[in-house]
């Protein structure tokens, strides 16, 4: 999900723009057919372009794979990668390629800090130069979904990027797979399982 | 669990020392009574001093509360806070004080990076100055356990710090509660729940 991280920074300024660009509603509802069509289009507007992936229900409850930080000229992010049951089992067993049904979620937050927290650190541990940061406001969430047949053209993976619950545009999603190619030896997944302390 | 973070850095050099200091075994096993006594002592050696807390089974499967980074002159850590079901419900409902039975786990890793990952970032996003880091080797894990009666003298919280599965010493555990006092308004817990992206 490295590309996702990157993209999140690159698109800091674009948060909310995708939602504006996306076609979310048809105002014309003159017939039942049109009404049905509207529902269909609205449903599609919640899915990622190209891959047709919607936000998996309950992903915030999934188990932890690892944590990351991304730094850049535009800011810093703290991030967590969570996995559904199939993903967690595969990571723990070192199973490659990941089996169909694997879903990896990458949650990205702006890095935040607290003067109060840092004062506690400075007072408690003088000279240690300690500073703490934590997950602040949400930036976006991204998913990799394994379906070796459906997504055969992209290494068996479908990709999705959501900001405020709305998927990014097609141009954004076209960049996902090429960015993951360098991780081909790990089935296109940059993230590795964090050891249990 | 801020103090925990701090302590982890402070005790970077002490990793493994606690395990040496702790009394883990009695060589003398001359009678059944002594044998039973040995088992009892060994069991206690797996628990944190003062608070008597052992590592909760399956904590690595608990749900995510938030993620953090700790920086200092001795290095950087990436960290995750996980909670048992009672903890997660309390965080989501904003319930204070946390109910008895709450357990918060703080998992700490040395921050690591990959030249390959960073080359992908540099090639894909020239000029963005992007660098990624991730959870590397495990440092330690810490727990806060809420029991308002048992731990009445320390705000209702018991504390525990484990490195390689072995608890830190009594001197270390004496510092936990005083460090958490500045977070009294949040029931002595520094960590807040990270929003769902």
pLDDT at residue A15 greater than cutoff 50: no
How many beta carbons lie within 10 A of that of residue B46, not counting itself? 15
Q: Quote the DSSP letter at residue B184.
A: G
pLDDT in tens, A86-108: 999 999 999 999 999 999 999 99
Q: A79 contacts in B (CB within 8 Å)? A: 67
Integer angstrom CA distances of residue A89 from A63, A83, A95, A128: 10, 9, 8, 39
Q: Which residues of B touch A125 (CB under 8 A)?
A: 6, 9-10, 72
Confidence band of A34 (pLDDT split at 50, 70, 90) = low
Q: Which pTM value belongs to this model? A: 0.82
Q: What per-residue confidence (pLDDT) applies to A44?
A: 63
Give the residue carrying structure tokens 């998927």: A167
Residues of chain B in contact with residue A6, where contact means CB-CB under 8 angstroms, are 121, 124-125, 128, 130
Chain segment A128-149, per-residue pLDDT in tens: 999 999 999 999 999 999 999 9
Q: Both tokens of residue A144?
A: 């990799």
Q: How far is CA B184 from the centre of its chain?
A: 19
Q: Do A128 and B196 touch (CB under 8 A)?
A: no
Q: B58: nearest CA in chain A? A: A196
Q: What are phi and psi of B26, to 5 degrees?
A: -110, 130
> 10-residue block means of pLDDT along chain B (197 residues)?
46 30 31 49 77 98 98 96 98 98 98 93 90 98 98 98 98 96 95 97
ipTM exceeding cut-off 0.90 for this assembly:
no
Q: How far is A4 from chain B (nearest CA, A)?
A: 11
Chain centroid to Cα B71, Å, comes to 17
Contact B133 A69 (CB under 8 A): yes
């Amino acid at each position: 999900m490295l590309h996702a991280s990157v993209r999140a920074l690159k698109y800091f300024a674009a948060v909310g723009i995708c939602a504006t660009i996306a076609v979310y509603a048809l105002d014309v509802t003159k017939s039942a057919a049109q009404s049905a069509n509207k529902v269909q289009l609205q449903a599609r507007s919640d899915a990622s372009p190209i891959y047709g992936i919607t936000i998996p229900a309950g992903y915030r409850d999934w188990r932890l794979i690892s944590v990351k930080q991304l730094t850049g000229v535009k800011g810093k992010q703290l991030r967590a990668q969570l996995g559904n049951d199939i993903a967690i089992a595969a990571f723990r067993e070192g199973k490659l390629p990941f089996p169909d049904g694997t879903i990896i979620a990458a949650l990205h937050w702006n890095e935040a800090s607290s003067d109060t927290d840092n004062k506690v650190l400075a007072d408690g541990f003088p000279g240690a130069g300690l500073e703490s940061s934590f997950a602040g406001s949400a930036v976006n969430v991204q998913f990799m979904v394994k379906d070796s047949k459906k997504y055969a053209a992209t290494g068996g993976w479908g990709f999705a990027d959501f900001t405020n619950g709305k998927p990014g545009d097609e141009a954004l999603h076209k960049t996902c797979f090429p960015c993951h190619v360098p991780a081909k030896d790990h089935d296109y997944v940059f993230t590795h399982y964090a050891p249990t302390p």
